[in-house]
């Protein structure tokens, strides 16, 4: 059974899109039955071009990427979510969305914060570096997530394992 993972950030334009792309990329490469989705509580309606560039440079197809509302995942017919990950930077006093809904019961929730690469200093080159470093950091955590026996873990063990990944 496919494990559906929803990655949330406020605007669904940078970090959550990077995470969706990296998790789907690694799940496909590793033959894991995991499907990533991303959304925002207040979606911007556009993907940051530096996020698209970072994913494309890593060989990830971004044609289907779009900024969307988390409402899509609370409606009838939405995929049953196993995991919800927030990626906003609470350390920077950024408001993180809190997801209550979802089809198929209560998903395991975890916070893996990343600074917003959209606010990096150094002009376009600085933003490119920040997006690439964020993509790599997110990709590493997604590999750790995919190493877990997701289909057989109880919610408490999954919660503990995901929290541990977030601390590394």
> CA-to-CA distance for 97 and 130, rounded, in angstroms?
23
Look up 96 and say whether it is catalytic. yes
Catalytic member of 35, 69, 80, 96: 96
Burial class (CB in 10 A: 0-12, 13-18, 19+), 61: exposed
Catalytic member of 19, 34, 87, 88: 88
* Three-state DSSP state, 77: coil
Look up 9 and say whether it is catalytic. yes
* Three-state DSSP state, 143: helix
Catalytic member of 7, 9, 22, 60: 9
Active site residues: 9, 88, 96
């Amino acid at each position: 059974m496919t494990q559906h993972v929803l990655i949330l950030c406020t605007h669904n334009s940078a970090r959550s899109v990077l995470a969706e792309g990296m998790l789907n990329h690694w799940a496909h490469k590793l033959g894991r039955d995991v499907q990533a989705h991303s959304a925002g509580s207040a979606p911007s309606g556009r993907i940051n071009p530096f996020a698209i560039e970072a994913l494309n440079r890593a060989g990830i197809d971004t044609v289907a990427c779009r900024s969307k509302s988390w409402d899509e995942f609370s409606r009838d017919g939405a995929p049953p979510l196993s995991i919800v990950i927030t990626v906003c930077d609470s350390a920077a006093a950024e408001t993180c969305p809190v997801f209550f809904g979802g089809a198929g019961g209560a998903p395991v929730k975890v916070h893996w914060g990343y600074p917003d690469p959209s606010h990096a200093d150094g002009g376009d080159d600085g933003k490119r570096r920040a997006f690439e470093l964020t993509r790599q950091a997110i990709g590493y955590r997604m590999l750790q997530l995919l190493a877990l026996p997701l289909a057989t873990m109880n919610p408490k063990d999954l919660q503990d394992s995901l929290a541990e990944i977030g601390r590394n």
